Amino acid sequence: MDPLLTDLADLAVGLGANVQPGQIVAVGTQTGNDELVHAVAESAYRRGARFVDVSVFDPHVKRARIEHAPAETLDFVPSWYGERMLALGEQRCARISLANPPPPGLFDGLDPERLGRDQLPWLKEINTLINDATGNWTIVPSPRTEWAGLAYPELDSREAMERLRRELEHVCRLDEDDPVAAWRERAETLVTTAERLSARRFDALRFEGPGTDLTVGLLPSSRWHAARFETVEGIVHMPNLPTEEIFTTPDPGRTQGVVTSTKPLVLSDGSLVRGLVVEFEGGRATRIDADEGAALLRARCRTDEGASQLGEVALVDREGRIGRLGTVFYSTLLDENAASHIAFGNGFDIAVDEADRPRRNQSAIHIDFMIGGDEVDVTGITRADERVPVLRGGAWQV
């Protein structure tokens, strides 16, 4: 078996999800990742998993649906999809997702309104599980040829795949002698920075850079999180591998100004939004423009009441391994860890106190887009209206 895949599998099972003996392990993937699925199953069973339940999403079937199904059925989800998700939480299962972009071009030429109505494989019940912390979960990348072609269009197919494999190995710290130790150290740095940031209790953050002057209000109890999560049962896991971000849930009613994305945004169906500019007023996106794909994002932001407001704000410094590569991976898992970002849609209960939970943003969607970089200054604004530098030239000031 391919050693990169067994390494990725062991990292996902051992460190990422931290699978416990006797647990059911739900593996989520799109079609085409069979080899990594097998490696994950093998690793999980070796670790004493009770059952490995693989759920395979087929983007070609989604394409057939968007093309041919009656419009009024496009947001339909069979009852057992959400029921399975909730059962995964109730039964304290581990969850491992494999991430890579859908087949390039697969959703081209489809009506964005129709495409936007079908949120699958995303399920609203996933938010419940994350917020309830009822499961230990992780997302890891799964290398494949089509993805390599997307990320490195200038290389031939073999070279592109080699580079993707090398870069994934690097950003997943699998090129370290002891990847688990390397991740524990990086996680410690991220977590302590998050704690320092939380201690400041900023009222808002301001992003200033080329085409960007955006203020994101925070909730009174907005706490910064990073790298490590803990389930209600006390299982420590790392939801994203790789991970370089420090994030919280903002006040959905106090985003103001204009922001220009610093990297292309790839929607869950693989469609692309380039050169995105969003204007916010009173928390809500009042203008969404882009060089490419604006209509797709506008359709997503009409999904529900909270879809045009923010559920997340996240900071990434330049010490992370992803941003340094300069690669656009066309995969949120990687790209969101390359740069500071904000997300339309659902927020996280875990990032605020009980009292603020009803105020965090609620939505069926969660779409991250990158707004940070060395050229974007991030400044904290205190309740007393003081300005405190947070990131300058990509380096922490707190």
- Give me the residues that bind a copy of itself (CB under 8 A), please: 24, 31, 34, 37-38, 41-42, 45-46, 48-54, 56, 58, 60-61, 64-65, 67-70, 73, 76-80, 83-84, 87, 91
DSSP calls for 293-305: -HHHHHHHTTSSG
Nearer residue to a copy of itself within complex by CB, 47 or 360: 47
Residue 101's CB: how many other CB atoms inside 10 A?
22
Contact between 25 and 12 (Cβ < 8 Å): no
- Minimum distance, C-beta of residue 55 to a copy of itself, in the bound complex (Å): 8
Gap between the Cα atoms of 74 and 123, Å rounded: 14
- Minimum distance, C-beta of residue 111 to a copy of itself, in the bound complex (Å): 15
Nearer residue to a copy of itself within complex by CB, 45 or 388: 45
Nearer residue to a copy of itself within complex by CB, 49 or 339: 49
Structure tokens at 83: 């029921």
Nearer residue to a copy of itself within complex by CB, 71 or 355: 71
- Minimum distance, C-beta of residue 51 to a copy of itself, in the bound complex (Å): 6
Contact between 16 and 43 (Cβ < 8 Å): no
DSSP calls for 259-275: EE-SS-EE-TTS-EEBS
Structure tokens at 92: 């304290």
- Minimum distance, C-beta of residue 253 to a copy of itself, in the bound complex (Å): 36
- Minimum distance, C-beta of residue 315 to a copy of itself, in the bound complex (Å): 38
Nearer residue to a copy of itself within complex by CB, 114 or 170: 114
Contact between 100 and 332 (Cβ < 8 Å): no
Q: Helix 3-10 to helix 34-46 angle, to the nearest 10 degrees?
A: 50
- Minimum distance, C-beta of residue 66 to a copy of itself, in the bound complex (Å): 9
Nearer residue to a copy of itself within complex by CB, 61 or 355: 61
Beta-bridge mates of residue 212: 209
Nearer residue to a copy of itself within complex by CB, 32 or 320: 32
Residue type, 356: D
Assign 44 to helix, strand or coil: helix
- Minimum distance, C-beta of residue 54 to a copy of itself, in the bound complex (Å): 5
Gap between the Cα atoms of 114 and 150, Å rounded: 25
The DSSP H or E segment spanning 260 is: strand 250-260
Helical spans, DSSP H, in the chain: 3-10, 34-46, 59-68, 79-90, 112-117, 124-132, 145-151, 157-171, 179-200, 294-300, 321-325, 332-335
- Minimum distance, C-beta of residue 170 to a copy of itself, in the bound complex (Å): 28
Nearer residue to a copy of itself within complex by CB, 46 or 387: 46
Cα first-last separation, the chain:
45
